[in-house]
Structure 1
Amino acid sequence: MTADPVVVAARRSPIATRGRRLSGVAVDALAAPVIRAAVDDGFDALGERRTLGDVVFGNCMGPGGNTARVAALAAGLGVQVPGMTIDRQCGSGLAAVIEAATALKAGDHRPRIAGGVESASTAPVRSIDGVGYDRAPFTPAGFPDPEMPRAADDLAAALGIDRERQDAYAALSHRRAVTAALRGAFDAEVLPFAVFGAGGDRAAGTSPAGVVDDAVGSVTERGLPRFPPLFENGTVTAGNSCRVSDGAAGVFLVPGDDRRSAPGLALRAHATVGCDPAHPGLGAAPAIAAALDRAGADLAAVAAFEIVEAFAAQLLAVLGRLGLDDADPRVCTDGGALALGHPWGASGAVSVVRLFSRLVRGGAPAGTLGVAAASVGGGMGVAAVFEVVR
């Protein structure tokens, strides 16, 4: 049997708020440099160049067609390398990694690039008979289909997660991200803006000097109470929600028995589950539980969690369902999507890149476990358990 696939390289773009420094970069042009960097890093890790099997990328709101194939060609991979674009909404990037790993596990030993990309700034306006709409339905008639901010607010009310807890968690995510950025925690994983042709200073805001992801540090514990609620008598605000963002992330995967001596993250188990579409933010919790069960591990054995922080209320609900503390130091240690931003189709892959930096680049010993996970619109969750190999 083929050994578990291993991520041996992981890179991402800076994450920019919609309308800022990546706003003029089309979705395929945003993905291409990340794909190229992941390929080059992967070949360097293996010590040789090989024939690539596929490029699998997640994307939610792009122009249609096959973004992964367009980006693969733009990255200079050659006409022989195919591409596949998948959409599992906020879980798309992680689902793409799982899909690529599944092909490797099935016996095709050619390395694969997997990840995700979103350009919220260039997402087209969609219409039916000339009537525009923001997104397609997540559920059919007769099922709940709330917008994500509304769903987060409803979840907070249902579980008694008050405004103070949400603001405290959002402030924590930003503090963690600022601290991480200033100590260089993102330096090895992030490509410079110039690679994407994004020059100038369109990242105007309050981010500290030296912080590349432009939402980081944009809110503070003192400022958070000043944000008005998004809904009457609600608790979710723009301050304790993620920024809608542009960004891309990609990883290089090889079969575990064909990685030479390259260190990396072996994908030990994964799970994709459904949950109540009225409360889609909870989906990551049962997905994590199922993935850990399949890996034969428990929460206590995990050294690092990267769970997409779409809203503070949503993340706190997931932590509560899992029995983890609000400030568990293993969860999004360097800040999550609340601070970095949330490029929908890319965020699941950003979580894998972050695990790679925290565990592989960070020197964690072989056998260390990490979990990446996301809750998904329509009532789903996706999670994967990785193990450090050296």
Structure 2
Amino acid sequence: MIAITPKVSIVSAKRLPIGKIHGMYSEESPEELFASLVRRQLADLTAYDNKQVDQIVLGNVTNQGGNLARRCALTAGFGVEKPAYTIDSQCASGLVAIASGVQAIMSGQATMVLAGGVESTSLANQVIDRQTKNVMSRFPMVPNNQLDLDMGIVAENMSQKYHISRKQQDLYAYHSQLKAIKASGQHLETSEIYPYIKNGTIYEQDQCIRKDTTLEKLGQIKPAFKAGGLVTAGNSCPINDGAAAVLLKNFEAGEDVQGYYLGHELVGVKPEEFLLGPIAATRQLLKKQSLSISEIDVVEMNEAFAVQGILCQEALGLRDEQINPLGGALAYGHPYGATGGILIARLLHSLNRIHRPALGIVTLCVAGGMGMSVLIANKHCDSKLEC
């Protein structure tokens, strides 16, 4: 049991269904995705409205330029006097945006912040390399004098270094799919989702869950990154579109909220071992909070690759039922800048199904060599309770 000292309240954490690239959101701008979500979210919060939000902070990776968060805020109907800014910290963009909102509240710069992220990989602009004149597949992750490995190659190298077999990776991916299939069948994820409505059509299901997944089918998928490799489209997360929004406010005891922010850690690791980022970030977070992993009820870890999930679960000593109980990104997908907010929403809805004070962690690896972890308490933890 630990004494809980909430720093910032999480009033509401919601997301849209996650779409495939060139899937159900193929024609939808990131501004409209975000606006659709936030209009519904604020309409359901009768005690709050957009006039009380002091600033908007959003993560985004692929829709570069023009301060997307500002465009999203104006599209969603926030007043012109409300500042907004965009953060690109790769896979951690959404979590860093949420942490930035927390810091603005704790410093006294704001009372209420809307944070999260949005991603439209379907509508991402192509970027031309100035020197080669070729379309860039991605931006550099390290300086020119360092080895800039594709993320899939890093996953291959880590598979070899730590002797993680193809069978182990496919089995991990299979279990992630099974958890997501079960959650979807029991409608456990619906409490975190607002459907997207367009021209009378209602989109309310995550698009990437493969309900016909079998180990045999996973074993038949060809390697994605090198001949004879171990990493495939089946044991890697897909590319996606999506949006998530987390409404944060200064802590006041006795309020009706979804949960509480308690702390976070953002750390650096070797770029060629970025998949280990969640290990370093989570260990540092637990140490600073004087916690052990056994005191954490749920860990939502973004599954960039199955090999990452395997390595992190083993190193942190996570039980199968403790990690990603509703399935992970191998099943749902990873809409980069939106993922941090998505994981916060999923974690809180899982924690609040526990009818007692409970703690959870959101963690992810970050391309370029970082890891980030956030400690969250459910709605039953406040200044008068222990977890």
Q: Mark the runs of 5 or more structure 2 residues left unpaired by the alignment.
A: 381-387
Distance in 2 (CA, whole Å) between partners of 1:35 and 1:166 is: 37
Report if aligned partners of 2:117, 2:341 keep a CA contact under 8 Å in 1: yes
64 and 198 in structure 1: CA distance in 2 versus 1, 3 angstrom threshold: farther
48 and 55 in structure 1: CA distance in 2 versus 1, 3 angstrom threshold: closer
Q: Which residue of 2 aligns with 1:341?
A: 333
Cα-to-partner distance string for 1:30-85 (whole Å, 9 max, x where unaligned): 222223233334x43x4677521111110001041111111111111221221110
| Mapping 1:1-390, distance limit 5 Å | 4-41=7-44, 43-44=45-46, 46=47, 51-129=52-130, 130-194=133-197, 199=201, 212-217=205-210, 219-230=213-224, 231-257=226-252, 260-325=254-319, 328-360=320-352, 362-366=353-357, 368-390=358-380
Q: How big is the shift at 1:363?
A: 4.2
Q: How big is the shift at 1:316?
A: 1.1
Distance in 1 (CA, whole Å) between partners of 2:249 and 2:22 is: 36
Report if aligned partners of 1:114, 1:250 keep a CA contact under 8 Å in 2: yes
Q: Which residue of 2 aligns with 1:208?
A: none
Distance in 1 (CA, whole Å) between partners of 2:121 and 2:272 is: 24
Report if aligned partners of 1:364, 1:388 keep a CA contact under 8 Å in 2: no
Distance in 2 (CA, whole Å) between partners of 1:309 and 1:67 is: 26
Report if aligned partners of 1:156, 1:317 keep a CA contact under 8 Å in 2: no
Distance in 2 (CA, whole Å) between partners of 1:47 and 1:17 is: 32
Report if aligned partners of 2:42, 2:50 keep a CA contact under 8 Å in 1: no
What is the TM-score of this pair, normalised by structure 2? Answer: 0.91
Report if aligned partners of 2:244, 2:338 keep a CA contact under 8 Å in 1: yes
Report if aligned partners of 1:50, 1:111 keep a CA contact under 8 Å in 2: no
Q: How big is the shift at 1:351?
A: 0.6
Q: Give the SS at the match of 2:264.
A: strand
Distance in 2 (CA, whole Å) between partners of 1:198 and 1:292 is: 47
Q: How big is the shift at 1:184?
A: 1.1
Report if aligned partners of 2:14, 2:194 keep a CA contact under 8 Å in 1: yes
Report if aligned partners of 2:10, 2:249 keep a CA contact under 8 Å in 1: yes
Cα-to-partner distance string for 1:253-296 (whole Å, 9 max, x where unaligned): 11112x65213221111100000111111111111111122222
Distance in 2 (CA, whole Å) between partners of 1:365 and 1:355 is: 15
Pairs aligned (count): 372
Q: Give the SS at the match of 1:133.
A: coil
Letter in 1 for 2:291: A
Runs of 4 or more consecutive aligned structure 1 residues displaced over 6 Å after TM superposition = none
Report if aligned partners of 2:10, 2:260 keep a CA contact under 8 Å in 1: yes
Distance in 1 (CA, whole Å) between partners of 2:81 and 2:240 is: 32
Provide the aligned C-alpha RMSD in A: 2.0
Distance in 1 (CA, whole Å) between partners of 2:54 and 2:254 is: 18
Distance in 1 (CA, whole Å) between partners of 2:84 and 2:49 is: 22
8 and 157 in structure 1: CA distance in 2 versus 1, 3 angstrom threshold: same
Cα-to-partner distance string for 1:176-229 (whole Å, 9 max, x where unaligned): 11110111112122122315x69499xxxxxxxxx8111112532231111112
3 and 223 in structure 1: CA distance in 2 versus 1, 3 angstrom threshold: closer
What is the TM-score of this pair, normalised by structure 1? Answer: 0.90
181 and 200 in structure 1: CA distance in 2 versus 1, 3 angstrom threshold: closer
Report if aligned partners of 2:195, 2:202 keep a CA contact under 8 Å in 1: no
Q: How big is the shift at 1:299?
A: 0.4
139 and 300 in structure 1: CA distance in 2 versus 1, 3 angstrom threshold: same
Distance in 2 (CA, whole Å) between partners of 1:374 and 1:187 is: 23
Letter in 2 for 1:356: L
Distance in 1 (CA, whole Å) between partners of 2:6 and 2:360 is: 18
Distance in 2 (CA, whole Å) between partners of 1:138 and 1:48 is: 39
Percent of aligned pairs with the same amino acid: 32
Report if aligned partners of 1:90, 1:374 keep a CA contact under 8 Å in 2: yes
Q: Mark the runs of 5 or more structure 1 residues left unpaired by the alignment.
A: 202-210
Report if aligned partners of 1:3, 1:255 keep a CA contact under 8 Å in 2: no
Q: How big is the shift at 1:337?
A: 0.6
Distance in 2 (CA, whole Å) between partners of 1:84 and 1:191 is: 24
Distance in 2 (CA, whole Å) between partners of 1:3 and 1:279 is: 33
Letter in 2 for 1:142: N
Cα-to-partner distance string for 1:341-374 (whole Å, 9 max, x where unaligned): 11111111111010111112x24423x1100011
Report if aligned partners of 1:21, 1:198 keep a CA contact under 8 Å in 2: no
Letter in 1 for 2:181: V
